[in-house]
């Protein structure tokens, strides 16, 4: 393929506007994407294509979401600390029964691996504490929890049922 001065000038103009190599090849016609990339490289055209940057609104929303996650995490931890939980009763697999919490602590390949062993709730395999970890309500993960608001209703229901 022969590059004419006209095609080279058009390549430079389109490349400068931020068009992709595929788009330039299509516009020029009779040229492959790889030919466009090769010619741009030989002409020492900038390899950097300016990506569209998100608006400041999007950046603010990301910051807001990070703060929300910290607040929610802190709220959950304070809830767990405020309630009285039975002390852990470490058990091995062979020691578990119907009334034992079967929440694994550690990794099964580790020597100090055990199960929680607290009294499990009726119809569940876990104690009150681990039930809060194990079951998340559907579509509630996006709900915003304000710092000064009360305990969310779905957690109150779980605590009452415990």
Neighbouring-strand partners of residue 100: 119
Tell me the two tokens of residue 70.
């910290």
Look up residue 5 and give its two tokens: 């001065």
Q: Is 58 exposed, middle or buried (0-12, 13-18, 19+ CB in 10 A)?
A: exposed
Give CA–CA dist 93/97, Å, rounded: 9
Instruction: Name the nearest CA neighbour of 99 among 84, 121, 132, 128.
Output: 121
**Predicted TM-score (pTM) of this structure:** 0.36
The percent of the chain in helix, strand and coil, each rounded to the nearest 5, is: 45, 5, 50
Reduced to 3 states, what is the DSSP secondary structure of residue 104?
A: strand
Q: What is the pLDDT along the chain (162 residues), one digit of tens a residue?
A: 688 899 999 999 998 888 999 999 999 988 999 999 999 999 888 765 555 555 555 555 555 555 555 555 554 554 455 456 678 888 888 888 988 999 999 888 888 899 988 888 888 888 878 887 787 766 555 555 555 556 667 777 767 766
């Amino acid at each position: 393929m022969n590059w004419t001065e006209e095609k080279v000038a058009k390549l430079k103009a389109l490349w400068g506007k931020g068009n992709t190599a595929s788009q330039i090849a299509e516009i020029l016609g009779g040229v492959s994407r790889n030919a466009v990339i090769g010619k741009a490289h030989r002409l020492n055209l900038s390899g950097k294509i300016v990506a569209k940057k998100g608006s400041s609104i999007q950046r603010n929303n990301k910051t807001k979401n990070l703060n929300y996650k910290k607040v929610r995490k802190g709220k959950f931890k304070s809830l767990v600390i405020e309630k009285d939980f039975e002390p852990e009763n470490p058990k091995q697999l062979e020691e578990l029964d119907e009334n034992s919490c079967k929440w694994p602590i550690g990794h099964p390949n580790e020597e100090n691996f055990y199960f929680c062993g607290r009294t499990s709730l009726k119809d569940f395999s876990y104690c009150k504490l681990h039930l809060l970890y194990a079951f998340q309500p559907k579509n509630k993960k996006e709900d915003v929890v304000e710092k000064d608001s009360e305990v969310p209703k779905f957690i109150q229901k779980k605590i009452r049922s415990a």
